[in-house]
Amino acid sequence: MSATEISPSASSETAQRFEAIDALLAAKLKPLVQQIDQEGLYPEAVIRELGQLGAYDAAVTRPFGGRETGLAEQIEITRRIAGYCASTAFITWCQSTSAWYLQHAPNAAAREKFLPAVASGQLLSGTGMSNTVKHLADIERIHLTATRNGDNLIVNGSLPWVSNLGQGHIVIVAARVEDEGYAMFAVDCDQPGLTLKPCPEFSGYEGTRTFNVRFADVQVLADHVLAQPAQFKEFIRRIKPGFILGQIGIGLGVIDASLKIIRDSNLTHEHVNVFLDDQFDELKSELDAYASATGNMSALADTDQSELLPVLQARAAASELSLKATQSAALHAGAKGYLMRHAAQRLLREALFVAIVTPALKHLRKEIHALQNEKQAA
């Protein structure tokens, strides 16, 4: 049975898992949302409990402790979390995307060493691939370089913003290896030579443990390397659709929360809200269409049949709809939606992040433009 063919019993198990996750979110995450947003609380206990409930392992195979229900279910879990707190949903994306990398890593030693613990949330993981993805799109230079030391690598450089880090965590990154190409690897955050420096304060997502990561002659052992230079190009091609699609779950949850504000506001102010652009029914229709399309593309990503162009277009659409829905929610809420403690204010900042985090909306449009030109020329 493929990951996308779910038996009735598996569907029942999935429903039970969703119920358990929803209960945890309502009981333990919801009371922390203001503290996460305003004080930068990192909700580690909730993150680990989500791992125990299977919040990161839907696209992981059973030999590594996963459930093989597919990327679409993983995106749905991220969406449910983002409906409460997009900061925690972004951590979920970091964790589940690290598992996605490891699941498809050509180096079996790295997969066996890290995947079961990452998929279960026992080992927390950041993904520092933003610079590499932008570098490969001709947006910026590569920030990490590596030299050979026998079978190991010695890494130097720095990455400005990497999330879900801390003592006992790992971070998955890539570096240019002299005269060979690129390698992708995992590094322990406690590794000698690796330093985590605080970032300037962000307007949102302060509860994500985001650091400037500096590498000074950091040694990477061979069994920490997910893909060697000869494997890198094919590996990036394989994981990129899932990397991008996974972020859509954050946008979908932000839109869900915005629609709730719009609906609740209309209970008392529909007579005046009706004059606003972007009404509930229109936004809900767009949301349902994007969610359905994302599910279809996720099934293709599971089986390595993705076309990159529609994936990029879907991710761009999620950014655009997140921005539109959160602005509409704030306008529907009126003056109280401008209060710092109101959810509409937080959602505006969360949606802006959806449009800025790599691949940012401008990055997406750049790659979409290039692929469309390639098709026209062909």
Side-chain-side CA neighbours of 111 within 13 Å: the count stands at 16
According to DSSP, the β-strands at 181-188 and 170-177 are antiparallel
Residue 5 is encoded by which pair of tokens? 């063919």
Burial code of 318-343, b = ≥16 C-beta within 10 A, e = fewer?
A: bbbbbbbbbbbbbbbbeeebeeeebb
pTM: 0.95
Neighbours of 316 (CB within 10 A): 21
Residue 210 is encoded by which pair of tokens? 């985001």
User: Could you tell me the maximum CA-CA distance found in the chain, to the nearest angstrom?
Assistant: 72
Whether 87 contacts 253, CB under 8 Å: no
pLDDT digits (tens, 9 = 90+) for 83-142: 999 999 999 999 999 999 999 999 999 999 999 999 999 999 999 999 999 999 999 999
pLDDT digits (tens, 9 = 90+) for 168-221: 999 999 999 998 999 999 999 999 999 999 988 888 899 999 999 999 999 999
Residues 6+ apart with CB under 8 A from 115: 60, 64, 65, 99, 102, 103
Residues 6+ apart with CB under 8 A from 159: 128, 130, 131, 143, 144, 173, 212, 213
pLDDT band at 3 (very low <50, low <70, confident <90, very high): very low
> Which residues partner with 144 through β-bridges?
157
The pLDDT, as a whole number, for residue 139 is 98
Residues 6+ apart with CB under 8 A from 85: 29, 32, 33, 36, 37, 43, 207
* DSSP assigned state of 274: T
According to DSSP, the β-strands at 125-127 and 181-188 are unpaired
The pLDDT, as a whole number, for residue 69 is 96
pLDDT band at 378 (very low <50, low <70, confident <90, very high): confident
- The percent of residues in the chain predicted with pLDDT above 70, rounded, is 97
Whether 48 contacts 73, CB under 8 Å: no
CA angle, 346 then 349 then 352, to 5°: 150
Region for 215 from its dihedrals, namely left if φ exceeds 0, alpha if ψ lies in -120 to 50, beta otherwise: beta
Q: How far apart are CA 217 and CA 89, in angstroms?
A: 33
